[in-house]
Amino acid sequence: MRVIMFDIDTLRSDHLGCYGYGRNTSPAIDSVAAEGVRFEDYYCPNAPCLPSRASLITGRYGIRNGVVGHGGTAADLRLQGESRHFTDDCSENGLFMQFRRAGMHTVSFSTFAERHSAWWFNAGFNECFNVGGRGGESAEAVTPHVLDWIERNGDQDSWFLHVHFWDPHTPYRAPESFGNPFADEPLPAPWITEEVFSEHLMHVGPHSANEIAMWDDSTSPQFPRHPGRLENMADMKDMIDQYDCGVRYTDDNIAQILDLLKKKGLYGDDLAVIITSDHGENMGELGIYGEHATADEPTCHIPMIIKWPGAKKNFVARGLHDNVDLLPTVQELLGTKIAGNYDYDGVSYAGTLLEGEDCARESVVLTQCCHVCQRSARFGDYLYVRTIHGGYHLLPREMLFNLKEDPHQQHNLAEEHPELCAQGARIVLDWTDEMMKKSDYAEDPLWTVMREGGPEHCRGMLESYIKRLEGTPRAGLISKLREQYPRG
């Protein structure tokens, strides 16, 4: 058996054709979806990059594995402690180790481990190819090495390739020579009207329209596609174009790899293909542009597409899943066993892949502690968001959105439906209690982040940001910032 996994950073599911997007961003990805199973409501439970991949690899939520942040204590996996033997249970039971245990030669093409000092990510790989860009590279730096490996080794009987592309991640970096195939197409986000965009221009906080560079409007000649600020509707449309260019450029590189597999006769029923992402990207939602900073729909709703030998074809799996579910699913499909007393938080959906069974959850809980501190509940048609630290956005403590009617989170229904807020809060509370019962540590790492000064990406930034706002049309919001963030 041969398996290839495309791990695409910052890929919104609703910017793919197979998920209903109107632009031609993903013909190669769409072709795989037509031959496999596409999960409609799949989520990243711990956002963004580092926490998401920690949950993916360990099969455990960040509240248990310890990684919910990008800095401080909560950016490292928790130590196993006295029960650890010669190797630790997490490394022995991680996602990539399952393919190794199944007898496959395992190879990763990724710079992720070095970018985040997350060397546990490499557990289970025979080969790790790191081009050295720490996530700043574009696909043309990675794809030739993947093609070369397949040319030299693809005919072997049993291998697993992990191919990681960063191109949809900020700053948008598809080569200038790629151009903009969407320049003449209409705005793909008609919900952002002139009136809505005018409101966005008055938004305060990192990655608002006036601070695309997070805290200011600086630009880099290295990344000419990435703006410093958005001044008008044309600027906003161009930024969405550039994100879509990153998606399409990634898809073109995936097409090169799939084409070689087909040319070599390797793209058959015995080839498994997995396509997913670590998180999505806010494109105007909550007034945030070009960032994955919240525990909400645009940041946490991710694609999951699986073509697997003997599995359903052109099948859409409805219902809620999240990325800790992949590990127990792979384990069941490969027939590998748990080593030691390790347990997963995930639930296998092998039955969905093979038989179309409903293996969905009733709800999923989402956590973000890198840019804000939020915990959310996704249930039914609703998303309930509870904000502990808003990352210097002026966010209310509670938000409630009907995603079926309002997918871009424009209408906060919290005051209108306190009963649904209570339901969402109960889901979060019950989930937290259950996870803490299973945890070997006494403190929820969300509160570790708060005790260590708040989200990594906004620590110590309030006063300098307030100075930036002074004398601008947004200066009137300074008092609200000080009121909401009295401790800075």
pLDDT digits (tens, 9 = 90+) for 122-138: 999 999 999 999 999 99
**Taking residues 448-456, what's their average pLDDT?**
97
pLDDT digits (tens, 9 = 90+) for 75-98: 999 999 999 999 999 999 999 999
Percent of the chain at pLDDT above 70? 100
Residue 487 pLDDT > 90: no
**Taking residues 176-183, what's their average pLDDT?**
97
**Taking residues 195-203, what's their average pLDDT?**
98
> Around 151, how many Cα atoms within 13 Å sit in the side-chain half-sphere?
7
Task: For residue 315, name the pLDDT band (cuts at 50, 70, 90).
Answer: very high
Task: For residue 488, name the pLDDT band (cuts at 50, 70, 90).
Answer: confident
pLDDT digits (tens, 9 = 90+) for 336-347: 999 999 999 999
**Taking residues 361-372, what's their average pLDDT?**
98
**Taking residues 358-363, what's their average pLDDT?**
97
Average pLDDT value over all residues in the chain: 97
Pair 74, 445: CB distance under 8 Å: yes
Residues in Cβ contact with 55 at an 8 Å cutoff, skipping those fewer than 6 apart: 44, 45, 46, 61, 62, 65, 67, 322, 323, 324
Task: For residue 318, name the pLDDT band (cuts at 50, 70, 90).
Answer: very high
pTM given for the model: 0.97
Residue 393 pLDDT > 90: yes
Pair 188, 21: CB distance under 8 Å: yes
Residue 308 has a pLDDT of: 98
Length reported for the chain: 488
Q: How far apart are CA 396 and CA 374, in angstroms?
A: 11
- The token pair that represents 122 in the structure block: 């490499």
Number of CB atoms found within 10 A of residue 96's CB:
25
Number of CB atoms found within 10 A of residue 355's CB:
10
Using alpha carbons, select from 170, 62, 173, 69 the residue that is nearest to residue 116.
69
List, in order of start, the domains of the chain with CATH numbers. 2-361 (3.40.720.10)
Which amino acid appears at position 168 of this protein?
A: P
Residue 264 pLDDT > 90: yes
Q: In the block, which residue shows the tokens 């995930």?
A: 346
**Taking residues 155-181, what's their average pLDDT?**
97
